[in-house]
């Protein structure tokens, strides 16, 4: 959608004036139609490269840290990645929130993994950040600028920098607090006021964030974005480049360090962030990169013209993948089917589960009980469980601000007696590198004395143990998921010492 079309569909007069602000002179004294005409007339100013570069610099080095964090992400990794660079505002907000939560989750997972072959560079980056944050609740523009220069010099990825900040409890905000929709809206207005983002509304009254095609091209050029992430990720799946050795060699040639034995997934992620797709395909010299024969075959596989120079073949391949429209590859989720039988899994209703052909062996019950619990937290309550390594750990973990919430499933035919498991749970809590907000126990039911055990544990150790039945968790999740635009469930409501009381949550569902 070009600027002329965008201008005709701008949502409100307020947004029209805000977008006109950078380049339309005396817009305050103009009528709505006059502002639109002036915007179209001054359109080249919005995509003039030096203007775009200055506007982007203003955002990335803004005095307000919220704008520095959300602004570039919203532009480059949300709206610019969408088909036609158009994103429903609500989806934009959700993507920003999910991205921030994913960084916090990664920071916790990385702590739990305790492994990295790039320790020296990452620890130095952590030292720099600790020094910058020392005795402050924010980073100055100068500190931000210096940190970015250091990051680029030692080839730390932007994601790695954010993960380290989150490990320090400083990302997205202090204590790993996630930005609110209102804070995202304030950043959106700042982007509009700098001519980088437009706002339109369709006939159904749905509001959209949009980067006009001319502006999107200029932003991509300034930022060095050669293709959209979706297209690049699909390109990386082609057999000619889907190789650990090939990607690692390409990264080595441009000085990007990797672990000694990285996974293909990790290498692909680093390539997406730091490696030009043209370098991946063509290397750093005329004789480098994929052989001509391989690229000829690749173009043939894509029904593209197979003749031409090496650079022409590369441009065709990149153009093909960059034009791909993103599609969902989510298939049927077995866990959604099993949700109906969540209570049967909890109380080990073997006869009923077998009659429905949901299990073949009794041992499957525990695993499927845990899988459905993961589904409830991720798909219904909006919190993706962390990946836990090894075997000696709780059944699941969730990020809770700058802390962790653990949970354990107990599939039993009789009510669970907390006293029988308290030593096991205590071990999980005390081996955690991060502070534990609380520990959830999910079971079919609990003995009356279990609440006393939970209270005693909290008094002696300072950590709440909350006991919730499968029925209570399922009912809560279904009620929450039924709410329109509910977002992520506030996990603090689950942290109730002893038995979970649904009445304490009733007000929010």
Q: Kindly report, residue by residue over 160-190, the tens digit of the pLDDT.
A: 899 999 999 999 999 999 999 999 999 999 9
Contact 171, 165 (CB under 8 A): yes
Strand partners, 468: 442
Contact 188, 209 (CB under 8 A): yes
Distance of CA 324 to the CA centre of its chain: 21
- Angle CA 377–91–491, to nearest 5: 25
Contact 269, 291 (CB under 8 A): no
Hunting for tokens 């090894």 — which residue is that?
390
Hunting for tokens 């000696």 — which residue is that?
392
Contact 296, 315 (CB under 8 A): no
Q: Kindly report, residue by residue over 119-132, the tens digit of the pLDDT.
A: 788 889 999 999 99
d(CA 282, CA 312): 11
Residue 59's pLDDT band (boundaries 50, 70, 90)? very high
Hunting for tokens 């700042």 — which residue is that?
190
Assign a CATH topology to domain 334-508: Restriction Endonuclease (3.40.91)
Show Cβ contacts of residue 275 under 8 Å, excluding neighbours closer than 6 positions.
247, 250, 251, 254, 256
Contact 187, 89 (CB under 8 A): no
- For 338-364, the three-class secondary structure string (H helix, E strand, C coil) is HHHHHHHHHCCCHHHHHHCCCCCCCCH
- Return the pLDDT at 287: 85
pLDDT at 146 over 80: yes
**3-class SS of residue 390:** coil
Q: Kindly report, residue by residue over 480-492, the tens digit of the pLDDT.
A: 999 877 789 999 9
E strand spans, 356-476: 396-400, 403-409, 436-443, 464-469
DSSP class of residue 424? H
Residue 283 Ramachandran class (φ > 0 left, ψ -120 to 50 alpha, else beta):
left
Closest C-alpha to 191, from 19, 407, 427: 19
Q: Which two tokens stand for residue 471?
A: 């029925």
Closest C-alpha to 217, from 207, 227, 229, 209: 227
pLDDT at 425 over 60: yes
- Return the pLDDT at 465: 97
- For 64-116, the three-class secondary structure string (H helix, E strand, C coil) is CHHHHHHHHHHHHHHHHHCHHHEEEHHHHHHHHHHHHHHHHHHHHHHHHHCCC
Residue 71's pLDDT band (boundaries 50, 70, 90)? very high
d(CA 46, CA 192): 11
d(CA 87, CA 82): 6
Q: Kindly report, residue by residue over 372-389, the tens digit of the pLDDT.
A: 999 999 999 999 999 887
Average pLDDT over every residue of 264-285:
91
Burial (0-12, 13-18, 19+ Cβ within 10 Å), 265: exposed
Lowest mean pLDDT among 121-125, 205-209, 354-358, 472-476: 354-358
- Return the pLDDT at 177: 94
Q: Are strands 498-499 and 86-88 parallel, antiparallel or unpaired?
A: unpaired
Query: How would you list the strands of the sheet with 207-210, edge to edge?
Result: 86-88, 207-210, 198-201
- Return the pLDDT at 116: 56
d(CA 254, CA 322): 23
Residue 205 Ramachandran class (φ > 0 left, ψ -120 to 50 alpha, else beta):
left
pLDDT at 329 over 60: no
Q: Taking the chain, what is the end-to-end CA distance rounded to the nearest angstrom? A: 40
Residue-range domain boundaries for the chain: 3-223, 229-322, 334-508
Q: Provide the whole-model pTM.
A: 0.82
Closest C-alpha to 313, from 304, 303, 326: 304
Average pLDDT over every residue of 419-441:
95
Longest dimension (CA), the chain: 78
pLDDT at 110 over 80: no
């Amino acid at each position: 959608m070009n600027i002329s079309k965008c201008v005709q569909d701008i949502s409100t007069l307020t947004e029209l004036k805000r977008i006109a602000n950078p380049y339309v002179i005396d817009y305050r004294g103009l009528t709505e139609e006059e502002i639109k005409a002036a915007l179209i007339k001054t359109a080249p100013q919005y995509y003039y490269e030096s203007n775009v570069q200055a506007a982007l610099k203003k955002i990335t080095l803004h005095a307000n840290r919220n704008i520095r964090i959300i602004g570039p992400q919203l532009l480059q990794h949300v709206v610019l990645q969408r088909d036609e660079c158009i994103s429903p505002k609500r989806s934009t907000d959700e993507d920003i929130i999910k991205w921030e939560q994913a960084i916090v989750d990664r920071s916790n997972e990385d702590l739990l993994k305790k492994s990295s072959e790039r320790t020296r560079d990452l620890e130095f980056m952590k030292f720099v950040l600790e020094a910058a944050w020392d005795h402050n609740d924010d980073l100055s523009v100068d500190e931000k600028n210096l940190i970015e220069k250091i990051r680029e010099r030692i080839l730390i990825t932007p994601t790695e920098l954010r993960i380290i900040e989150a490990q320090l409890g400083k990302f997205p905000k202090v204590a790993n607090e996630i930005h609110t929709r209102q804070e995202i809206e304030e950043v959106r207005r700042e982007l509009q006021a700098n001519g980088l983002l437009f706002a339109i509304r369709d006939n159904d009254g749905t509001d959209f964030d949009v980067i006009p095609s001319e502006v999107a091209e200029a932003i991509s050029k300034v930022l060095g974005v050669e293709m959209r992430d979706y297209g690049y990720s699909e390109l990386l799946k082609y057999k000619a480049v889907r190789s650990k050795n090939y990607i690692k060699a390409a990264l080595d040639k441009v000085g990007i360090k990797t672990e000694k034995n990285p996974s293909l997934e990790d290498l692909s992620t680093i390539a997406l962030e730091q490696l030009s797709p043209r370098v991946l395909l063509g290397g750093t010299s005329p004789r480098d990169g994929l052989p001509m024969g391989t690229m000829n075959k690749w173009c043939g596989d894509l029904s593209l013209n197979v003749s031409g120079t090496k650079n022409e073949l590369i441009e065709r391949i990149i153009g093909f993948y960059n034009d791909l429209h993103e599609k969902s590859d989510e298939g049927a989720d077995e866990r959604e089917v099993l949700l109906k039988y969540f209570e049967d899994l909890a109380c080990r209703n073997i006869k009923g589960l077998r009659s429905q052909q949901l299990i073949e062996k009794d041992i499957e019950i525990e695993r499927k009980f845990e899988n459905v619990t993961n589904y409830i937290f991720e798909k219904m309550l909006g919190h993706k469980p962390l990946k836990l390594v090894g075997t000696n750990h709780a059944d699941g973990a969730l990020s809770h601000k700058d802390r962790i919430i653990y949970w354990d499933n107990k599939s039993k035919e009789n009510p669970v007696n907390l006293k029988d498991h308290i030593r096991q749970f205590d071990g999980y809590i005390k081996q955690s590198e991060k502070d534990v907000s609380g520990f959830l126990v999910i079971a079919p039911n609990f003995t009356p004395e279990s609440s006393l055990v939970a209270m005693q544990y909290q008094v002696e150790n300072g950590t709440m143990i909350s006991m919730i039945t499968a029925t209570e968790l399922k009912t809560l999740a279904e009620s929450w998921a039924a709410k329109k635009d509910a977002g992520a469930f506030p996990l603090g409501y689950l942290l109730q010492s002893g038995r979970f009381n649904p009445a304490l949550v009733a007000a929010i569902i």
